[in-house]
Amino acid sequence: MSIVEKFITMEYGPAPEDPREALAWLDVHQRRFGHFINGEWRAPAAGTYFDTADPSTGETLATVAQGSVEDVDRAVKAARGALPAWQALTPHARARYLYALARQVQKHSRWLAVLETLDNGKPIRESRDIDIPLVARHFYHHAGWAQILEQEFPGYVACGVVGQIIPWNFPLLMLAWKIAPALGTGNTVVLKPAEFTPLTALAFAQICQEIELPPGVVNIVTGDGSTGEALAKHPDVAKVAFTGSSEVGRAIRKATAESHKKLSLELGGKSPFIIFEDADLDGAVEGLVDGIWFNQGQVCCAGSRLLMQESIAEKLLRKIQDRMNTLRIGPPLDKAIDIGAIVARVQLERIQRLVDQGVAEGAMCWQPSIPVPSRGWYFPPTLLSNVHPSSVVAQQEIFGPVLAAMAFRTPREAVELANNTVYGLAACVWSESINVALHVAAQLKAGVVWVNCTNLFDAACGFGGYRESGFGREGGREGLLEYLEPAWFKQAGRMHATPPAITQPPEAAGDFSAPPIDRTVKLYIGGKQARPDSGYSMAVRAADGRVLGEAPLGNRKDIRNAVEAARKAEAWGKATAHNRAQVLFYIAENLSQRGEEIAVRLATVVGRKQAESEVRLGIERIFSYAAWADKFDGAVHNPPFRNVALAMKEPIGTVGVLCPSDEPLLGFLSLVMPAICVGNTVIAIPSEKYPLITGDLYQVLDTSDLPGGVVNIITGRATELLKTLAEHDDVDAIWSFTDEASAAAAKMLSVGNLKQVFTNEGRAIDWFDAKQGEGRWFLDHAVQIKNIWVPYGE
């Protein structure tokens, strides 16, 4: 075709990025890769390999090692061996290594981008302009954290060997999100890249060699799900970080439940993309392009549910269709392509199946008439309208370039629809009214809310989900905490099953001139004293075996009622921090008023000295959290864009708390107070040893203006109650602070809705020592951070 014809048609023509350098690198390795263990390439122990293909052609790019249990063991051993020397380095020395990684990534940016596109099928524009620059940014940012770690996280130490399992949608970027914070905090790493996309991780291994990172600090083991399973289960792995499907996330939660491994999960999403009638509609449509047609829609935070205000729905759909007509789908190495290839045939089939199902359920399917390559795994951009919340395409993550559109009438309905999902990863809000946008953003259940923008990421801003989108954050200060533990906690011994020796003989309470008036302790639900559903009570005995009284025997239904009451009391989380502080101070005041009598009764079980100490320190502890209530602030981040990213600390929601047995009063207060001071509501199972404390507690709470339902107390057999709580899908977090078995049970039983689990791992905590028993460690677990990105400019 001549220039004349091109002058007439004004078409784009091909603009391919040259893949020769990347292919030459594969050839240097004879297109066959072993694992990267202890700084060397190692053939797989079992000698098995598998192919990785170019999704745009289906052709094999290279053969990589299938990691076995033995390979994983070798890698973990290498990581463990490297740990002492790595941790002995100064923070500055580790910062230098991370800086070198950042620089090396930049120096090899095009090689990495091309390799990523070859292996994954994403457009070269995205790997070149988004993925790789963010990789470098992540290492830079964490080189900084490594440098100032000791000043910023005093008293915290690294977990040890970290096992990391990453997905195929952003292969090198997810590697960076995992490895940079792990190394920066002094851990060593075994990382398993996704089966479909192992090549850039192997290229990164070479980069580690090039910068002479000490052998064993980073190990890369390739393989499939079984390799990941071996890694997650390895006994010497202290922390597991996973990004991927909710299904695998659940399996890992279960597999690690009976260990003390720290766990962070970044899972799926069905993120709402809300457009109000006062939005810049053209801007919002471009936002959608960046939201759902970015990376072929294979993005966990893709804006896959379009919620549009009814008044503009028709106009908006027309604009979306017009825009879809100008999308270009084709060879991902072409520099003028918007949508590349789907990573694998199995994913392509899954997308088609879900779309077919959506259509069968009544959705209208629209696809632009643009050319789609016949070879390779491509799926055209797709708009599904006439979708209802009950449609499968509105509920399930499709992980493809498919947008499901629904209309709403009012901001309230927008929020309701947006939150009508088991996920909670991200959300977009488009409105030119800052009032509407921030009001809605505050109500969305999502770890990231983008106002008038989409899919912006930065190393300084934590990323991660609410609900079944997982727990833990990547990026920022909160991301680092995932790889750190308090030093005292790491060294804490196992909790003893036997109660501590009581030094003084228990004393009788009250006066004996007349029989005491019977004291009936009840459950405390929704601010009211309630008889147990079972109608049974259990005897509570003093240290000397004497029966002190009876506590109600709570059961499943009492837990159910308590959870309902706690959910109804959610307004507590929206009360002002000052208001919550006032209530807490008042609780302390009222406890102080009754302190002596409570101590006298408590002394019958724990002895006078401890009882007095629990009351005295309990009052202090409440004061501490009253103090924290209006000081545990969020942050404003400075990502490299013209915007403010507001890191809001939000309560997790409804928290089930299993209180320590041996410190009936102080243990209860040490857990319940941090939970409620930031706005959570609580269902507490008090000390099994002395559940009668409930009667004292609710009298104090009742007189302190604490709204009913914020704290609910259910006595009974702790193990049974814990089971019901952990399995309850309307409970958002479980805190277990008794024995090891309870900690494991809490983790194992909470997989249904992937609760956040915070436990003592069965270790002994000295609640009488404020360094252990109170402070940020508890508060950090009581909140989840929502980052609200607000660009500005006129």
Partner 1 sequence: MTLRDKPATMRDASLEHLSVSGPGAISPSYTAIAQYGGRELQPNRGIPLNLDWIAAVRVNTSAVERRAQTLVTRRTVKKDWQAAWLLRAITCMDLTTLSGDDTDERVRRLCAKARQPIQQELAQKLGVESLGITVAVVCVYHTFVETARRALEGSGIRVAAVSTGFPAGLSPLQERVNEIRRSVEAGADEIDVVITRAHVFGARWQALYDEISTFKNACGPAHLKVILGTGDLQTLRNVARASYVAMMAGADFIKTSTGKEAVNATLPVGLVMVRAIREYAQETGMAVGFKPAGGIRTAKQALEWLVLMKEELGTPWMKADLFRFGASGMLGDIERQLEHHATGRYSADYRHPIA
Regarding 243 and contact with partner 1 (CB under 8 A), the answer is no
Instruction: Report the relative pairing of strands 484-486 and 156-158 from DSSP bridges.
Output: antiparallel
Rounded CA separation 385/85 (Å): 58
- 159, 300, 301, 659: which is the annotated catalytic residue? 300
Q: What is the nearest approach in angstroms of partner 1 to the Cβ of residue 102? A: 22
Q: What is the nearest approach in angstroms of partner 1 to the Cβ of residue 8? A: 5
Rounded CA separation 405/291 (Å): 13
Regarding 640 and contact with partner 1 (CB under 8 A), the answer is no
Find out whether 153 and 371 touch, Cβ atoms under 8 Å.
Answer: no
Span interacting with partner 1, options 38-46, 286-294, 348-356, 578-586, rule CB under 8 A: 286-294
Which one of residues 107, 318, 353, 631 is an interface residue with partner 1 (CB under 8 A)?
A: 318
What does the per-residue mask of binding to partner 1 show for 55-94, with x meaning CB under 8 A? ----------------------------------------
Q: Which two tokens stand for residue 451?
A: 């106002």
Q: What is the nearest approach in angstroms of partner 1 to the Cβ of residue 168? A: 23
Span interacting with partner 1, options 33-41, 281-289, 340-348, 557-565, rule CB under 8 A: 281-289
Q: What is the nearest approach in angstroms of partner 1 to the Cβ of residue 9? A: 7
Q: In the sheet that 470-471 helps form, which strands lie side by side, from edge to edge?
A: 40-42, 35-37, 218-220, 188-192, 161-165, 239-243, 262-266, 470-471
Side-chain-side CA neighbours of 790 within 13 Å: the count stands at: 20
Please, which of residues 389-428 interact with partner 1 by CB under 8 A?
407
Span interacting with partner 1, options 12-20, 143-151, 480-488, 593-601, rule CB under 8 A: 12-20
Q: Which is nearer to partner 1, 326 or 504 (CB)?
A: 326
Regarding 536 and contact with partner 1 (CB under 8 A), the answer is no
Q: Which is nearer to partner 1, 281 or 426 (CB)?
A: 281
Which one of residues 116, 338, 740, 761 is an interface residue with partner 1 (CB under 8 A)?
A: 338
Find out whether 239 and 190 touch, Cβ atoms under 8 Å.
Answer: no
Which one of residues 9, 30, 435, 513 is an interface residue with partner 1 (CB under 8 A)?
A: 9
Specify the amino acid at residue 44.
Answer: P
Which one of residues 284, 307, 659, 757 is an interface residue with partner 1 (CB under 8 A)?
A: 284
Rounded CA separation 16/112 (Å): 16
Which one of residues 226, 325, 410, 576 is an interface residue with partner 1 (CB under 8 A)?
A: 325
Span interacting with partner 1, options 210-218, 334-342, 701-709, 762-770, rule CB under 8 A: 334-342
Q: What is the nearest approach in angstroms of partner 1 to the Cβ of residue 764? A: 52
Which one of residues 18, 282, 349, 596 is an interface residue with partner 1 (CB under 8 A)?
A: 282
Q: What is the nearest approach in angstroms of partner 1 to the Cβ of residue 295? A: 14
Span interacting with partner 1, options 66-74, 134-142, 378-386, 416-424, rule CB under 8 A: 378-386
Rounded CA separation 613/324 (Å): 69
Give the end-to-end CA distance of the chain in Å, rounded to a whole number.
Answer: 46
Residue from 143, 244, 135 nearest 200 by CA: 135
Rounded CA separation 422/458 (Å): 25
Q: What is the nearest approach in angstroms of partner 1 to the Cβ of residue 309? A: 11
Span interacting with partner 1, options 299-307, 548-556, 613-621, 786-794, rule CB under 8 A: 786-794
Q: What is the nearest approach in angstroms of partner 1 to the Cβ of residue 287? A: 7
Sign of CA dihedral 367, 370, 376, 378: negative
Q: Which is nearer to partner 1, 124 or 714 (CB)?
A: 124
Please, which of residues 648-677 interact with partner 1 by CB under 8 A?
none
Q: What is the nearest approach in angstroms of partner 1 to the Cβ of residue 677? A: 36
Side-chain-side CA neighbours of 429 within 13 Å: the count stands at: 28
Regarding 7 and contact with partner 1 (CB under 8 A), the answer is yes
Sorted by sequence, the CB contacts under 8 Å of residue 189 that are 6+ apart come out as: 79, 161, 162, 164, 178, 179, 182, 183, 217, 218, 219
Phi, psi of 90 (to 5 degrees): -75, 155
Rounded CA separation 192/248 (Å): 14
Q: What is the nearest approach in angstroms of partner 1 to the Cβ of residue 452? A: 5
Secondary structure of the chain: what % helix, strand, coil (to 5)? 45, 20, 40
Beta bridge partners of 428: 273, 450
CB-neighbour burial class of residue 789 (10 A; exposed 0-12, middle 13-18, buried 19+): buried
Which one of residues 186, 287, 340, 686 is an interface residue with partner 1 (CB under 8 A)?
A: 287
Regarding 129 and contact with partner 1 (CB under 8 A), the answer is yes
Rounded CA separation 96/147 (Å): 8
Regarding 286 and contact with partner 1 (CB under 8 A), the answer is yes
Q: Which is nearer to partner 1, 72 or 407 (CB)?
A: 407
Find out whether 709 and 682 touch, Cβ atoms under 8 Å.
Answer: no
Span interacting with partner 1, options 223-231, 333-341, 570-578, 742-750, rule CB under 8 A: 333-341
Query: Which residue in the block uniquely carries the two structure tokens 């079992």?
Result: 46
Instruction: With H, G, I as helix, E, B as strand and everything else as coil, classify residue 210.
Output: helix
Regarding 638 and contact with partner 1 (CB under 8 A), the answer is no
Regarding 642 and contact with partner 1 (CB under 8 A), the answer is yes
Regarding 292 and contact with partner 1 (CB under 8 A), the answer is no
Q: How many residues bind partner 1 (CB under 8 A)?
A: 56
Find out whether 123 and 339 touch, Cβ atoms under 8 Å.
Answer: yes
Regarding 366 and contact with partner 1 (CB under 8 A), the answer is yes
- 17, 116, 195, 266: which is the annotated catalytic residue? 266
Q: Which is nearer to partner 1, 323 or 616 (CB)?
A: 323
Rounded CA separation 163/269 (Å): 23
Question: Is 461 assigned a catalytic role?
Answer: no
Which one of residues 74, 77, 80, 125 is an interface residue with partner 1 (CB under 8 A)?
A: 125
Span interacting with partner 1, options 199-207, 285-293, 416-424, 744-752, rule CB under 8 A: 285-293
Find out whether 337 and 296 touch, Cβ atoms under 8 Å.
Answer: no
Query: Which residue in the block uniquely carries the two structure tokens 């494991």?
Result: 744
Question: Is 159 assigned a catalytic role?
Answer: no
Instruction: Report the relative pairing of strands 262-266 and 470-471 from DSSP bridges.
Output: antiparallel
Regarding 368 and contact with partner 1 (CB under 8 A), the answer is yes
Regarding 434 and contact with partner 1 (CB under 8 A), the answer is no
Q: What is the nearest approach in angstroms of partner 1 to the Cβ of residue 373? A: 16
Regarding 643 and contact with partner 1 (CB under 8 A), the answer is yes
Q: What is the nearest approach in angstroms of partner 1 to the Cβ of residue 449? A: 15
Residue from 742, 710, 709, 708 nearest 726 by CA: 742
Span interacting with partner 1, options 73-81, 204-212, 319-327, 755-763, rule CB under 8 A: 319-327
Q: What is the 3-state secondary structure (H, E, C) of 696-760?
A: HHHHHHHCCCCCCCCEEECCCCHHHHHHHHHHCCCCCEEEECCCHHHHHHHHHHHHHCCCEEEEC
Regarding 386 and contact with partner 1 (CB under 8 A), the answer is yes
Cβ atoms within 10 A of the Cβ of 792, count? 10
Regarding 792 and contact with partner 1 (CB under 8 A), the answer is yes
Rounded CA separation 457/466 (Å): 17
Which one of residues 12, 150, 360, 771 is an interface residue with partner 1 (CB under 8 A)?
A: 12
Which one of residues 66, 187, 347, 452 is an interface residue with partner 1 (CB under 8 A)?
A: 452
Instruction: With H, G, I as helix, E, B as strand and everything else as coil, classify residue 555.
Output: coil
Give the footprint of partner 1 on this chain (CB under 8 A): 1-4, 6-15, 125, 129, 278-284, 286-287, 290, 313-314, 317-318, 321-322, 325-326, 335-336, 338, 364, 366-369, 383, 385-386, 407, 430, 432, 452-453, 642-643, 791-794
Catalytic residue set? 266, 300
